[in-house]
Structure 1
């Protein structure tokens, strides 16, 4: 703003005492001081407010004004509350140094002037920044030169001193300015506040206080070109839209600043559209594999499609990975609201949500979903998740086992409870009282032949999750590892998948080491767990039998002293 504008505001109570020719100077900020030498706190362009406590006699005015002029301040405003009229020696010193001087009426608080100037300066700076944001939007729309959302967030930080982050609907940080990251629990809490406010219909921006800090939350609306089409029903997009979290209270912001932040959200929406488009190839691959599996295609045809998918999803892996299947379903409304629920398609919503859930919450950034392929069919979404194969000594013991030295090997498989642990709270807020998310996770399969069973297993696990109370529920293959799955009413593919998961580690070990674990297991069960009779039948020493049984238990994670585990093995062997 210009100094001249201060005289146009009657509420400020300013009276010009000198420097009329310098009123076109720009004001960049305000500083209040009664120091005799405030130079260390001046950077130029300030309107300096003073109560004249530094002045003891007329000789003090000249050095004080000389310091201000040397620092390049825009002007000086002296209060009349302490001395009444402004001393003539101060007026003369300001004239000599061509420093505009204002008198502040005793009824006007310095805080009133400060607030007015800061608001005006912030508005003008916001207007300048808005032009930069608009130019940046055009760059991002026309080509890759924009630089991503981090650039505009850096502008907010440098020009308006606003710390801001782009968050996913689960609270995962997608972008932030500089190196300041938002802690995961804070992001999840902010996402929960945002989703609850969106479902309630409250007007944005939404205000939230987390751990004593106030944030303003701006929705980054879907443009209709992403996975979930925009519509009038907030339920179609609430679980997939990003949000902009700003560390500030926007309740008293001027319209110019609010308009600027709306422009920033539109700019980030353009970038989101671009990244959604980049997922098209992965979605198409998943859709093709899903259709082949569901239509009963030959394993060779499915394997060929997986060989195409593997380099896209796991670049540089070399060999074909293992795979897991995850099934998700989003349902709206209860029995009394079927018509409204049917108007909201669940498949696309579940697809976008599952893509977000499968991103590692410990990893920030927008491109961490490059290895996730999610299709949707009807009301459910199906994810094909590649897993690096476990190699080396750990492969003989099963992923996640400890070696002889006690060293743990990381298990790369997905676990249902872990997937939802960090996102259950915010998603529950978005689902409110009329939505449910249920999710099922299969075991890992090592060949195309196992994909159909894995899909049915994941669907069956999802149905188990759907039978539980709560807005966000999941079940995994570990919860299906029971002889109950071998009963006639369970789908054949699920039973075959269970049988293979239980016995395949033993078959693989026998093939590599000729250890005869499967024949040993059959004999042990036929002998009702009798060590002596089983050793005699196999012509083995009892210690050798104990070693083999121990290896069986280690490879399968089962305990052959438990009746339930014996029954699982007995039925699995009869079905194999």
Structure 2
């Protein structure tokens, strides 16, 4: 687009401050890109031919304009368009600098958005050959990847080709792209089809028809993978490599570019543009992966503390040195739940725990998922063949009940995504703990999640999620199968010492045990219910353990006591 054509668009109301007295050649300069720049040194983002949009945030006083304009002039910029919102007008210092260097200067009135200017230019760009479009994307790419924000370039693809493009995770969560977002069922169905295609080692792009709509699904892998000239070719090569390696389930962490068209029939120029888009989104994914690495380190440190002899009271101090706590300044324990997962492709091949970890990190932050938490509140790591995740729960003020993970919602979400991918012989099992209000409850909660995982592994479904309530119902459902005499004998043997002690000493050990179990072994909740100091409660529990010879820190012990109370 020529500078003269842009100035002639009346609805934009652009005013040429420097350049009216120049020769016609200045106004016939071509505009090949429209970056928005508010950095004092924009040189590394410029290749020539740009209409630079700036809000003048870099300008504070006279003299600031000279170095900025000199950089633009040396880079071969077509013109500078300065917004009037920041300072109420374009400062005289900027006008003088542009006159010295012969750089056309345009004033953008407050009511005209930079987006409107960009849209008008891009409408003209779409009539240019595809190679020029790819060049435009490349210029924008260097600006936008610094911020890890692909939405603007996906908007460029929509403007240039008239197509809606979105980026989804392998669980169907929309990460970037066109709005409104796809319907949740559609997004999950696309993610499910994508995983099935990757599992079958089909070549990308994957063509999927839902209803009367045809979609192309293109894998977005990390930047290290995208080293071949074509991103689509690279994704196909990656699929072949995974097949050769026997399959490593890396697709559970993929992002996928969803294009509302059959890209396999696109001309070479448009395919080149798509390749550049995939590269940009891969850059953004790399930023995302780096952020998740910080959370993974946090989860690993917590797991190490669980296996150590460090007293729980010292855990917050030990965790202050993690990168996550340093950045967020969150150094106190937040109410949390553990999620533990295992999977099998068949009877002999486990699903890699690292792949399950990435999948669950996505599944747990869906808006329609098991609990609404931001990404920074889900920390995951790997422990042998198990994925272990710590989900920090939001806190609700007032009398509203505290949120917890909805096991049924999590199972529905994962079932919809994984059923095709797992095939007839595969399965994924998850165990969820009770909420952990303090570090002292963490070891017990992790054990509880692993017990729930064992119960889930016995389930008939391909994806099974079990939580604390399921443990109780599982044990109690077996009681009617046991003869009455056996049940009563078991209850008498386990609870008899407590009944005798209460009768002789007029204590309340048995009611204390019932309250402790009803509060999911939470010291603070149980103490509040019984109106006791926590230390007094600990004394009573220690007495119960001494009389019965049982350790109430073990989940199996608590389930035995619960069964005995119901049976007696």
TM-score (norm 1): 0.56
Distance change >3 Å, CA 246–CA 472, structure 1 → 2: same
**By how many angstroms is 1:314 displaced?**
12
Distance change >3 Å, CA 483–CA 425, structure 1 → 2: closer
1:383 and 2:389 are equivalent in the alignment: yes
Distance change >3 Å, CA 238–CA 475, structure 1 → 2: same
Contact 1:126–1:160, Cα closer than 8 Å, also in 2: no
| SS of corresponding position for 2:176 | strand
Distance change >3 Å, CA 351–CA 317, structure 1 → 2: same
Backbone CA RMSD of aligned residues: 4.1
Contact 1:127–1:256, Cα closer than 8 Å, also in 2: yes
> What whole-Å deviation, never above 9, does each CA across 1:294-345 have from its counterpart, x for those lacking one?
234322233434677798599698964212111112333x23xx3xx36xx7
Distance change >3 Å, CA 473–CA 484, structure 1 → 2: closer
> What whole-Å deviation, never above 9, does each CA across 1:466-512 have from its counterpart, x for those lacking one?
11123222111110125939999xxxxxx999575167544322227
- What CA distance in whole angstroms lies between the structure 2 residues aligned with 1:463 and 1:496? 26
Contact 1:169–1:427, Cα closer than 8 Å, also in 2: no
**By how many angstroms is 1:266 displaced?**
2.1
- What CA distance in whole angstroms lies between the structure 2 residues aligned with 1:223 and 1:131? 19
1:437 and 2:428 are equivalent in the alignment: yes
Which structure 1 segments of 5+ residues have no match?
A: 1-120, 395-408, 489-494, 519-564
Query: Equivalent residue for 2:154?
Result: 153
Query: Equivalent residue for 1:197?
Result: 197
- What CA distance in whole angstroms lies between the structure 1 residues aligned with 2:153 and 2:356? 30
| SS of corresponding position for 2:377 | coil
- What CA distance in whole angstroms lies between the structure 1 residues aligned with 2:330 and 2:401? 17
Matches within 5 A, 1:224-303: 232-233=242-243, 234-303=247-316
1:128 and 2:141 are equivalent in the alignment: no
Q: Which moved more, 1:313-322 or 1:271-280?
A: 313-322
Distance change >3 Å, CA 310–CA 497, structure 1 → 2: farther
**By how many angstroms is 1:388 displaced?**
3.5
Contact 1:282–1:312, Cα closer than 8 Å, also in 2: no
Query: Equivalent residue for 1:347?
Result: 353
Contact 1:482–1:568, Cα closer than 8 Å, also in 2: no
Query: Equivalent residue for 1:568?
Result: 562
Contact 1:153–1:176, Cα closer than 8 Å, also in 2: yes
Contact 1:307–1:320, Cα closer than 8 Å, also in 2: no
Distance change >3 Å, CA 566–CA 301, structure 1 → 2: closer
1:371 to 342, 366, 377: 377
Matches within 5 A, 1:314-353: 320-332=333-345, 334-335=346-347, 338=348, 341=349, 346-353=352-359
- What CA distance in whole angstroms lies between the structure 2 residues aligned with 1:276 and 1:369? 12
Matches within 5 A, 1:65-144: 124-139=128-143, 143-144=146-147
> What whole-Å deviation, never above 9, does each CA across 1:40-78 have from its counterpart, x for those lacking one?
xxxxxxxxxxxxxxxxxxxxxxxxxxxxxxxxxxxxxxx
Query: Equivalent residue for 1:456?
Result: 447
Contact 1:123–1:254, Cα closer than 8 Å, also in 2: no
Contact 1:483–1:568, Cα closer than 8 Å, also in 2: no
- What CA distance in whole angstroms lies between the structure 1 residues aligned with 2:310 and 2:186? 47
Distance change >3 Å, CA 243–CA 203, structure 1 → 2: same
**By how many angstroms is 1:198 displaced?**
1.6
Matches within 5 A, 1:200-219: 200-219=200-219
- What CA distance in whole angstroms lies between the structure 1 residues aligned with 2:426 and 2:223? 23
Which structure 2 segments of 5+ residues have no match?
A: 1-124, 227-237, 480-489, 492-513, 539-558
Contact 2:516–2:526, Cα closer than 8 Å, also in 1: no
Contact 1:239–1:430, Cα closer than 8 Å, also in 2: no
Contact 2:129–2:269, Cα closer than 8 Å, also in 1: no
Contact 2:217–2:259, Cα closer than 8 Å, also in 1: yes
Distance change >3 Å, CA 133–CA 184, structure 1 → 2: same
Query: Equivalent residue for 2:411?
Result: 420
- What CA distance in whole angstroms lies between the structure 2 residues aligned with 1:497 and 1:438? 28
- What CA distance in whole angstroms lies between the structure 2 residues aligned with 1:569 and 1:461? 17
Contact 1:167–1:244, Cα closer than 8 Å, also in 2: yes
Distance change >3 Å, CA 497–CA 184, structure 1 → 2: farther
> What whole-Å deviation, never above 9, does each CA across 1:329-370 have from its counterpart, x for those lacking one?
2333x23xx3xx36xx7121122112111113349xxx9411
- What CA distance in whole angstroms lies between the structure 1 residues aligned with 2:404 and 2:462? 25
Query: Equivalent residue for 2:471?
Result: 480
- What CA distance in whole angstroms lies between the structure 2 residues aligned with 1:283 and 1:571? 41
Distance change >3 Å, CA 212–CA 331, structure 1 → 2: same
- What CA distance in whole angstroms lies between the structure 1 residues aligned with 2:309 and 2:359? 28
Distance change >3 Å, CA 451–CA 566, structure 1 → 2: closer
The higher radius of gyration belongs to 1
1:466 and 2:457 are equivalent in the alignment: yes
- What CA distance in whole angstroms lies between the structure 1 residues aligned with 2:262 and 2:319? 50
